[in-house]
């Protein structure tokens, strides 16, 4: 019978593979190379480009826009490319994105030879926009490919990839500063550009092609799910906090903590190192215990809120800014951001599948595109608004605003998940009562045919 077959199938689940296939290993190598090289290229500008731009007559506000336009173009590119990942092809999108990003990085290194003023500014905007589109293509497709190749270990793989993201962010600024001091403006961009270009033939060789059918689903339908919007807000607060620290922490450390520029670079390691070290641990926990993902996001958000409030700390606490406290809070921020971030992508994919999105590359492209877009929006919001609040008030209050955003995201999650649990318990109770009432109405003895007795 069908029921018996279902019982047998459910009682003997297929054992998951404990050993990765060759395709999975090669995909992991490819994704790691993309994250590492892309993050180095992204973070290399910080130590020296603002000063070079000032020499060209560029104002501080315009320098901020040159940095910010990267996030805006990544946002737009992620949404468009995520929608059409099947039509374009996941492998082609990665390879083409890396090629475009590497070429624009090299070109950016020769902008010091153009004339000062408007021409320099326009060429900076153009090359940064092209670079951002290439970056968004590679990263959006890499998230989708990772989820496609590792459907049962998404968070674990994401945690592994974040190790190389952290390494790229850690090594980028000191490497860029050293190359700039040793060889001048061009060499940092030429070196990192060719490093990124080296990943093009690597990915062209080891990545498989992915066949998929285009879907009729859209970002609009995906964003009609309250849980998706809530997770997007969580991702937004994460990237906003990171972007805020990139733009404002160095000035605060130099002015309030009397640190040198070199010491500030070491201070930033206090944020990146815990993030990268904890990523694989939280990834394994997230995949092994899917039910705790939502509470990982809540606890991580609360810890992030508290650590941002004490990073300054907020003037209402009447605590003087001290180096040991800043370092401690940066370490807590690194761990808490990691705890919050790692489960988000897996939860977005699970939510999409629960709401009728098919399990294919098209859906993964939509989710990864939305994730990258929201992350880029936060990376634009954090430095822009955070920098404005820092200028109008101070770093302490601006950090408190970032903490308030993280607290708001955690609070909304608590409300949503509590209501969700109550509804699930209510539905379970209703089903139990319905089944018990049906059982009471059923006869105690089965019906039998009447016996006919021949008395003749």
pLDDT digits (tens, 9 = 90+) for 208-224: 777 655 566 666 788 88
Give me the pLDDT at residue 18, please: 54
Q: Is pLDDT larger for residue 259 or for residue 61?
A: 259
The pLDDT of 346-371, averaged and rounded, is 81
- C-beta neighbour count of 446 within 10 angstroms: 6
pLDDT reported for residue 438: 62
pLDDT of residue 3: 39
Contact between residue 97 and residue 138 where contact means Cβ atoms under 8 Å apart: yes
User: What's the average model confidence in pLDDT over 351-363?
Assistant: 79
- Model confidence at 9: pLDDT above 60: no
pLDDT score of 217: 64
**Distance from C-alpha of 363 to C-alpha of 345, rounded to nearest angstrom:** 12
Tell me if 414 sits within 8 A of 294, measured CB to CB: no
Band (pLDDT 50/70/90 cuts) for residue 437 is low
CA distance 311 to 309: 6
Q: What is the pLDDT of residue 401?
A: 92
| Structure-model confidence comparison of residues 302 and 27, the more confident one | 302
**What digits encode the pLDDT tens for the residues 248-279?**
787 788 778 887 766 776 777 778 788 888 88
In the structure, what pLDDT confidence band is assigned to residue 423 with cuts at 50, 70 and 90?
Answer: confident
Residue 12 pLDDT exceeds 60: no
The residue with greater pLDDT, 329 or 424, is 329
Predicted confidence band at 442 (pLDDT cuts at 50, 70, 90)? Answer: low
pLDDT at 100: 93
- The rounded distance, in Å, linking the Cα atoms of 291 and 42 is 35
Residue 375 binned pLDDT confidence (cut-offs 50, 70, 90): confident
The C-alpha atoms of residue 317 and residue 421 are separated, in whole angstroms, by: 36
160, two tokens: 């592994």
**Is residue 302 within 8 Å of 410, Cβ to Cβ?**
yes
Q: Is the peptide bond before 325 cis (omega within 30 degrees of 0)?
A: no
Burial class (CB in 10 A: 0-12, 13-18, 19+), 377: buried
**DSSP secondary structure code for residue 108 in this structure:** H
Instruction: Say what the pLDDT of residue 40 is.
Output: 84
CA distance 347 to 217: 18
Q: Extract the tokens encoding 294.
A: 């939502």
Which of 86-100, 159-173, 210-224 shows the highest mean pLDDT?
86-100
Q: What is the arithmetic mean of pLDDT over 447-453?
A: 48
Rounded mean pLDDT of 317-326? 86
Q: Give the residue among 83, 209, 72 at the shortest CA–CA distance from 140.
A: 83
**Tokens found for residue 296:** 């990982």
CA–CA dist 307, 14 (Å, integer): 44
Which runs of consecutive H residues, i.e. helices, occur in 20-153? 22-43, 49-55, 60-83, 85-88, 90-108, 118-149
Least confident of 10-24, 182-196, 439-453: 439-453
CB 337 within 8 A of CB 410: no
Contact 159, 279 (CB under 8 A): yes
- Supply 45's token pair: 């500008």
3-state secondary structure of 297: helix
Give CA–CA dist 400/309, Å, rounded: 5
Neighbours of 230 (CB within 10 A): 19
Predicted pLDDT at 454: 47
Structure tokens at 420: 């969700």
- What's the rounded Cα separation, in Å, for the pair 275 and 288? 20
Considering 24-38, 137-151, 327-341, 376-390, the range whose residues carry the highest mean pLDDT is 327-341
How many other C-beta atoms lie within 10 A of the C-beta of residue 433? 10
Query: What is the pLDDT of the chain when averaged over all its residues?
Result: 80
Element (H, E) at 241: helix 226-256
Q: What three-state secondary structure class fits 39?
A: helix
**Predicted local confidence at residue 49, as pLDDT:** 78
Q: How far is CA 172 from the centre of its chain?
A: 19
Q: For 388-417, write each residue's pLDDT tens digit.
A: 888 788 888 989 999 999 999 999 999 998
7-21, 83-97, 166-180: range with lowest mean pLDDT? 7-21
pTM: 0.76
Q: Percent of the chain, pLDDT > 70?
A: 87
223-232, 366-375, 408-417 — which is least confidently predicted? 366-375
Helix axes 22-43, 199-206, angle to 10 degrees: 160
From CA 274, how far away is CA 331, in angstroms rounded?
Answer: 6
Assess whether pLDDT exceeds 70 at residue 17: no
CA-CA distance, 280 to 168, in Å (whole number)? 16
Predicted pLDDT of residue 173? 76
d(CA 65, CA 55): 17
* pLDDT class of 234 with cuts at 50, 70, 90: very high
Residue scoring higher pLDDT (395 or 2): 395
Q: In whole angstroms, what is the distance from residue 101 CA to residue 19 CA?
A: 34
């Amino acid at each position: 019978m069908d029921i018996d077959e279902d019982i047998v199938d459910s009682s003997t689940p297929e054992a998951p593979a404990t050993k990765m296939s060759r395709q999975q290993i090669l995909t992991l190598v490819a994704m790691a190379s993309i994250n590492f090289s892309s993050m180095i290229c992204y973070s290399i500008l910080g130590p020296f480009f603002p000063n070079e731009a000032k020499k060209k007559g560029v104002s501080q506000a315009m320098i901020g826009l040159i940095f910010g336009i990267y996030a805006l173009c990544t946002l737009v590119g992620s949404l468009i490319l995520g929608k059409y990942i099947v039509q374009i092809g996941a492998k082609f999108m990665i390879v083409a994105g890396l090629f475009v990003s590497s070429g624009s990085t090299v070109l950016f290194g020769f902008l010091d030879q153009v004339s000062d003023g408007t021409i320099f500014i326009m060429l900076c905007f153009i090359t940064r926009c092209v670079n951002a589109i290439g970056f968004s293509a590679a990263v959006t497709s890499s998230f989708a490919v990772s989820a496609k190749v590792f459907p049962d270990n998404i968070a674990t793989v994401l945690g592994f990839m974040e190790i190389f993201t952290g390494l790229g962010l850690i090594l980028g600024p000191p490497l860029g500063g050293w190359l700039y001091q040793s060889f001048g403006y061009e060499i940092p961009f030429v070196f990192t550009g060719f490093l990124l270009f080296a990943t093009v033939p690597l990915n062209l060789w080891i990545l498989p092609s992915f066949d998929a059918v285009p879907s009729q689903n859209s970002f609009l339908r995906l964003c009609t799910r309250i849980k998706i919007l809530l997770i997007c807000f969580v991702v937004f607060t994460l990237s906003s906090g990171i972007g805020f620290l990139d733009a404002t922490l160095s000035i605060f450390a130099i002015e309030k903590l009397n640190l040198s520029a070199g010491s500030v670079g070491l201070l930033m390691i206090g944020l990146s190192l815990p993030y990268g070290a904890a990523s694989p641990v939280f990834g394994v926990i997230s995949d092994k215990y899917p039910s705790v993902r939502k509470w990982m996001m809540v606890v991580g958000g609360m810890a992030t809120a508290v650590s941002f409030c004490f990073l300054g700390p907020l003037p209402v606490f009447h605590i003087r800014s001290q180096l040991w406290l800043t370092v401690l809070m940066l370490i807590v921020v690194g761990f808490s951001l990691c705890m919050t971030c790692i489960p988000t992508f897996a939860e977005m994919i699970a939510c999409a599948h629960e709401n009728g999105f098919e399990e294919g590359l098209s859906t993964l492209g939509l989710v990864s595109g939305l994730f990258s877009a929201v992350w880029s929006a936060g990376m634009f919001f954090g430095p822009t608004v955070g920098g404005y609040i820092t200028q109008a008030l101070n770093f302490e209050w601006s950090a408190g605003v970032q903490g308030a955003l993280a607290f708001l995201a955690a609070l909304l999650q608590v409300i949503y998940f509590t209501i969700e649990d109550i509804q699930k318990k209510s539905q379970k109770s209703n089903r139990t009562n319905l089944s018990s009432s049906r059982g009471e109405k059923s006869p105690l003895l089965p019906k039998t045919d009447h016996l006919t007795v021949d008395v003749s």
